[in-house]
């Protein structure tokens, strides 16, 4: 009997993490005594223990919409706020929690008498999406315990932002510092709180990545090609892509590359990025200016000739916009493909211009196909025939949406790397095998 | 959110050597809210649900009795993939019912296994997307697949020489930077198939022979051939005033524009077999419009 149970108990222990094996066994045996079928019994045990033994997470593991987990960290900032919730005035505490893997903002909906510097463990916490990054939430139904102070690095160490490579900046950084070169820069007039102001937007890059940036303060002497060192810039997230925000709390200094060596030049940064394996691209929620090469393994519905609302540019059906009601329509063409290189699969969006290049037919020719075939699907079907299975190279930005990671293509091409070189390189690696077998 | 399954690249040999199908476990079902795919584990440690293959269709049969059930063989340099398309794959079934043999096709599909009582295992592909492609895509697929397979063989080789097993091996491979799916696949494959260096060597030999089968003669191989076909097709359209083009005249004109007689012949033969042109009378060619 015992031996028969062992594999099931092992499976349950594995699924539940570090749970007490004896308790699982006892529970399972009781259920089996009642002649509950094994699968059903396992299910019940799993449900029962899942609520007592919560999965333990670190800040780097957080994503929006998680429920019932345990997390520990040190409070590096906390403030009391009064909010008006459905007519009830209540006090909440918001701040930042940090561990070795990063920092994350939190809201405590209940007074746990926490203060800055406390090392705490929160049981039954949840997350929600706030400013496009996960925010930790805990309230009356959570348990908050003070844990030994030496469980986490000192406050000072956790709040210090050591310079990072752009590629390493993620949602776990509330603020960041780095050395990077400005590769694009333009001024933009915006209206904020009824006041006209000029902000600077652009792109910075180093030897690892490029990222968009916004400066809310004037940057004197900074132009395209300048290398800047910034400290304490805030990191905002949009669809998984970090952007650098320079504000009055950020210090910006200009680095002179002739005095201080930097591992990049304007040419090295502005070069077309080499294609990355898609599996690697998927590791990040969002990447700025990357390239990939793979096979079009599927053309998704929604590709072809589409109608857009002239006001908001939304895709509309039957001349009715979701936001603007019955309206005129603007004709457009797009292709949505799944690009797969054997290491990962990413959805790629092609606008009209890129669709025409990839499809090899202009929008007008496509309209002609619809007219001749008298079917809206004719173009979609024709695209499938023309493109499924083919190779495609794309360059653009990726972002994570509810449908997974999407790359919006800025340019496309048909890959033409030299087969001869690749084949002879591979054969070079494989030849020794042949000798062993033949000899 | 559930990530889309990768379409893995592997040769028919590795696919057909696979007999280990794992069904979704309780633990996975719980984690993914009831959506957990089955996997086929290959002897070289790939854990696949979906795959992408390019090859030559050599046989198509309708083996169904009451309903249509199309079976096709898609051949790569190491063997053949068997593809079944029935009533639940209507697009692929229609595609196969009108496809000419032989032609190059690309197939995206799910790995299926059929295990009759006697312990034998038959693997096949249930197609999701199929299309006709040209020879250059086939060649590139072979190179891609050889590269990815060799990477896997090297990681597997490293796993073998580590002498580790089970979770220790998993940890070792993850530490070495192997993707999670691969680390898991290798641990499973080692346990089930007892894959050894001998098998990896066989697979390498198959890769080498497959690569050697690619015709890279000429200044770029099949891409040039495709260009030639395009050129000849254009020429035929240009020369045809209604009754087709005389083959001799076509060669003459093509040569005057710098194309060898051999190249013209190859291109015409390929255009004929692809159904892009036909011979209404002997020695007369006409473009299919």
Q: What is the pLDDT of residue A264?
A: 87
With cut-offs at 50, 70 and 90, classify the pLDDT of residue B232.
Answer: confident
Q: What is the pLDDT of residue A215?
A: 93
What is the chain B residue with the closest CA to A282?
Answer: B3
Q: What is the pLDDT of residues B149-171, one digit of tens each?
A: 999 999 999 999 999 988 899 99
Q: What is the pLDDT of residue A313?
A: 87
d(CA B52, CA A297): 8
Q: What is the pLDDT of residue A418?
A: 79
CB contact under 8 A, A342 and B52: yes
CATH class given for the domain over B222-287: mainly alpha
Q: Which architecture, in CATH terms, is A163-270?
A: Beta Barrel (2.40)
> Is it true that domain A57-157 has CATH number 2.40.50.140?
yes
Q: What is the pLDDT of residues B89-148, one digit of tens each?
A: 999 999 999 999 889 999 999 999 998 878 888 999 999 999 999 999 999 999 999 999
- Nearest by CB to A385, from B131, B143, B221: name it: B131
**Domain boundaries in chain A?**
2-53, 57-157, 163-270, 278-413
d(CA B284, CA B278): 8
CB contact under 8 A, B3 and A404: yes
Q: Looking at CA atoms only, how far is residue B7 from chain A in angstroms?
A: 6
Q: What is the pLDDT of residue A193?
A: 81
* Separation of first and last alpha carbons in chain B: 47
Q: What is the pLDDT of residue B218?
A: 45
d(CA A313, CA A321): 9
Q: What is the pLDDT of residue A178?
A: 92
**Fold that domain B7-134 belongs to in CATH:** OB fold (Dihydrolipoamide Acetyltransferase, E2P) (2.40.50)
In chain A, what residues touch B145 (CB-CB under 8 Å)? Answer: 342
Tell me if chain B has a CB within 8 Å of the CB of A398.
no
Per-residue pLDDT at B285 exceeds 80: yes
Q: What is the pLDDT of residues A244-255, one digit of tens each?
A: 999 998 889 998
In chain B, what residues touch A14 (CB-CB under 8 Å)? Answer: 27
Q: What is the pLDDT of residues B53-96, one digit of tens each?
A: 999 999 999 998 888 899 999 999 999 999 999 999 999 999 99
Q: What is the pLDDT of residue B180?
A: 86
Per-residue pLDDT at A437 exceeds 50: no
CB contact under 8 A, B131 and A297: no
> A57-157 and A278-413: same fold?
yes
With cut-offs at 50, 70 and 90, classify the pLDDT of residue B221.
Answer: very low
Segment among A31-35, A113-117, A399-403, B14-18 with least mean pLDDT: A399-403
**Domain boundaries in chain B?**
7-134, 140-212, 222-287
In chain A, what residues touch B211 (CB-CB under 8 Å)? Answer: 423, 426-427, 430
The pTM of this model reads 0.73
d(CA B152, CA B11): 13
Q: What is the mean pLDDT of chain B?
A: 87
What are the backbone dihedrals phi and psi of residue A45, each rounded to the nearest 5 degrees, phi first?
A: -60, -45
With cut-offs at 50, 70 and 90, classify the pLDDT of residue A402.
Answer: confident
Give me the mean pLDDT over the B20-40 stretch: 68
Tell me if chain B has a CB within 8 Å of the CB of A322.
no
Tell me if chain B has a CB within 8 Å of the CB of A280.
no
d(CA B24, CA B37): 6
Q: What is the pLDDT of residue A438?
A: 42
With cut-offs at 50, 70 and 90, classify the pLDDT of residue B220.
Answer: very low
- Nearest by CB to B54, from A39, A389, A437: name it: A389
- Yes or no: say if A315 and A303 are a contact pair by the CB < 8 Å rule: no
HSE of B146, CA atoms in CB hemisphere, 13 A: 30
With cut-offs at 50, 70 and 90, classify the pLDDT of residue A433.
Answer: low
Per-residue pLDDT at B187 exceeds 90: yes
Quote the percentage of chain A above a pLDDT of 70.
95
What are the backbone dihedrals phi and psi of residue B56, each rounded to the nearest 5 degrees, phi first?
A: -100, 130
Per-residue pLDDT at B195 exceeds 50: yes
Per-residue pLDDT at B34 exceeds 70: no
CB contact under 8 A, A402 and B1: yes
A205 φ/ψ sector (left φ>0, alpha ψ -120 to 50, else beta):
beta
- Per DSSP, what are the bridge partners of residue A340? A295, A345
User: Burial, B198: exposed, middle or buried (Cβ in 10 Å; 0-12, 13-18, 19+)?
Assistant: exposed
Q: What is the mean pLDDT of chain A?
A: 87
In chain A, what residues touch B27 (CB-CB under 8 Å)? Answer: 11, 14-15
- Nearest by CB to B108, from A11, A297, A427: name it: A297
In chain B, what residues touch A341 (CB-CB under 8 Å)? Answer: 144
CB contact under 8 A, B216 and A429: no
Tell me if chain B has a CB within 8 Å of the CB of A389.
yes
What is chain A's Cα-based Rg? 28
What is the chain A residue with the closest CA to B8?
Answer: A342
Give me the mean pLDDT over the A343-359 stretch: 95
Residue found under tokens 């312990």: B119
Per-residue pLDDT at A347 exceeds 60: yes
CB contact under 8 A, B6 and A404: no
HSE of B197, CA atoms in CB hemisphere, 13 A: 9
Quote the percentage of chain A above a pLDDT of 90.
36
Tell me if chain A has a CB within 8 Å of the CB of B144.
yes
B167 or A48, higher pLDDT? B167
DSSP code per residue over B193-213: H---HHHHHHHHHHHHHHHHT
d(CA A239, CA A270): 24
Tell me if chain A has a CB within 8 Å of the CB of B155.
no
Stated length of chain B = 289
Per-residue pLDDT at A372 exceeds 50: yes
Strand (E) or helix (H) holding B245: strand B245-246
**Fold that domain A278-413 belongs to in CATH:** OB fold (Dihydrolipoamide Acetyltransferase, E2P) (2.40.50)
- Nearest by CB to B30, from A15, A343, A434: name it: A15
Q: What is the pLDDT of residues A270-318, one digit of tens each?
A: 888 889 999 999 988 888 899 999 999 999 999 999 999 988 888 888 8
With cut-offs at 50, 70 and 90, classify the pLDDT of residue A17.
Answer: low
- Nearest by CB to A340, from B52, B146, B207: name it: B52
What are the backbone dihedrals phi and psi of residue B246, each rounded to the nearest 5 degrees, phi first?
A: -70, 130
Residues with Cβ < 8 Å from A377, sequence gap 6 or more? A304
Tell me if residue A260 falls in helix, strand or coil: coil
Cβ under 8 Å to B: A residues 12-31: 14-15
């Amino acid at each position: 009997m015992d031996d028969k149970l062992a594999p099931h108990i092992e499976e349950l222990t594995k699924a539940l993490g570090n749970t007490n094996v004896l308790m699982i066994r006892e529970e399972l045996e009781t259920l089996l005594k009642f002649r509950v079928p094994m699968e059903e019994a396992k299910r019940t045990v799993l449900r029962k223990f899942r609520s007592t033994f919560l999965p333990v997470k670190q800040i780097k593991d957080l994503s929006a919409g998680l429920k019932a987990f345990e997390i520990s960290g040190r409070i590096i900032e906390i403030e009391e706020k009064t909010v008006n919730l459905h007519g009830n005035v209540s006090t909440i505490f918001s701040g930042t929690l940090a561990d070795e893997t990063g920092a994350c903002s939190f809201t405590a909906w209940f007074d746990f008498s926490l203060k800055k510097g406390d090392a705490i463990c929160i049981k039954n916490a949840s997350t929600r999406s706030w400013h496009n990054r996960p925010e930790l939430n805990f309230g009356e139904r959570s348990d908050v315990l003070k844990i030994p102070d030496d469980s986490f690095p000192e406050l000072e160490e956790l709040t210090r932002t050591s310079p990072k490579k752009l590629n390493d900046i993620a949602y776990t950084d509330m603020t960041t510092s780095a050395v990077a070169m400005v590769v694009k820069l333009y001024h933009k007039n915006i209206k904020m709180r009824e006041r006209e102001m000029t902000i600077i937007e652009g792109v910075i890059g180093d030897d690892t990545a490029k990222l968009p940036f916004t400066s809310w303060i004037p940057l004197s002497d900074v132009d395209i090609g300048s290398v800047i060192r910034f400290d304490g810039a805030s990191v905002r997230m949009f669809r998984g892509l970090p952007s650098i925000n320079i504000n009055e709390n950020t210090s910006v200094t200009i680095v002179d590359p002739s005095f201080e060596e930097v591992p990049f030049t304007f040419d090295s940064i502005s070069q077309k990025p080499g294609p990355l394996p898609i599996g690697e691209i998927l590791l990040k929620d969002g990447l700025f200016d990357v390239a990939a090469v793979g096979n079009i393994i599927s053309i998704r519905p929604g590709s072809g000739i589409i109608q857009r609302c002239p006001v908001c540019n939304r895709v509309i059906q039957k001349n009715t916009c979701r936001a603007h009601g019955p309206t005129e329509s603007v004709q457009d063409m797009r292709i949505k493909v799944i690009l797969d290189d054997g290491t990962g699969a990413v959805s790629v969006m092609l606008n009209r211009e890129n669709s025409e290049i990839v499809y090899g037919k202009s929008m007008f020719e496509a309209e002609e196909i619809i007219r001749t075939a008298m079917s809206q699907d004719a173009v979609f079907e024709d695209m499938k025939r023309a493109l499924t299975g083919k190779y495609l190279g794309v360059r653009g930005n990726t972002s994570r949406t509810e449908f997974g990671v999407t790359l919006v293509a800025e340019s496309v091409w048909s890959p033409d790397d030299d087969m001869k070189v690749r084949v002879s390189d591979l054969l070079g690696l494989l030849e020794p095998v042949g000798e062993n077998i033949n000899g | 959110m559930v990530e889309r399954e990768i379409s893995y690249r592997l040769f028919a040999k590795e696919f057909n050597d696979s007999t280990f199908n794992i069904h979704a476990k309780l633990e996975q079902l719980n984690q993914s809210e009831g959506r957990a795919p089955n996997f086929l584990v290959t002897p070289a440690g790939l854990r696949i649900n979906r795959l992408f293959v390019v090859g030559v269709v050599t046989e198509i049969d309708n083996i169904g009795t009451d309903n249509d059930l199309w079976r096709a063989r898609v051949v790569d340099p190491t063997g053949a993939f068997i593809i079944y398309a029935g009533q639940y794959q209507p697009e692929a079934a229609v595609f196969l019912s009108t496809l000419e043999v032989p032609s190059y096709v690309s197939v995206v599909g799910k790995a299926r296994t059929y295990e009759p009582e006697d312990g034998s295992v038959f693997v096949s592909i249930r197609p999701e997307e199929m299309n006709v492609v040209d020879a250059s895509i086939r060649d590139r697929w072979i190179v891609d697949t050889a590269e990815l397979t060799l990477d896997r063989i090297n990681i597997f080789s490293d796993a073998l020489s580590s002498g580790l097993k089970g979770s220790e091996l998993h940890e070792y491979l993850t530490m070495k930077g192997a993707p999670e799916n691969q680390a898991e696949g290798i641990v499973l494959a080692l346990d089930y198939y007892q894959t050894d260096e001998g098998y990896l060597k066989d697979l390498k030999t198959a890769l080498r022979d497959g690569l050697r089968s690619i015709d890279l003669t000429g200044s770029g191989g099949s891409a040039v051939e495709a260009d030639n076909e395009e050129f000849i097709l254009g020429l035929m359209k240009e020369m045809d005033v209604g009754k087709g083009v005389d083959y001799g005249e076509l060669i003459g004109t093509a040569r005057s524009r710098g194309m060898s007689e051999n190249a013209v012949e190859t291109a015409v033969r390929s255009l004929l077999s692809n159904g892009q042109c036909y011979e209404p009378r002997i020695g007369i060619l006409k473009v299919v419009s």
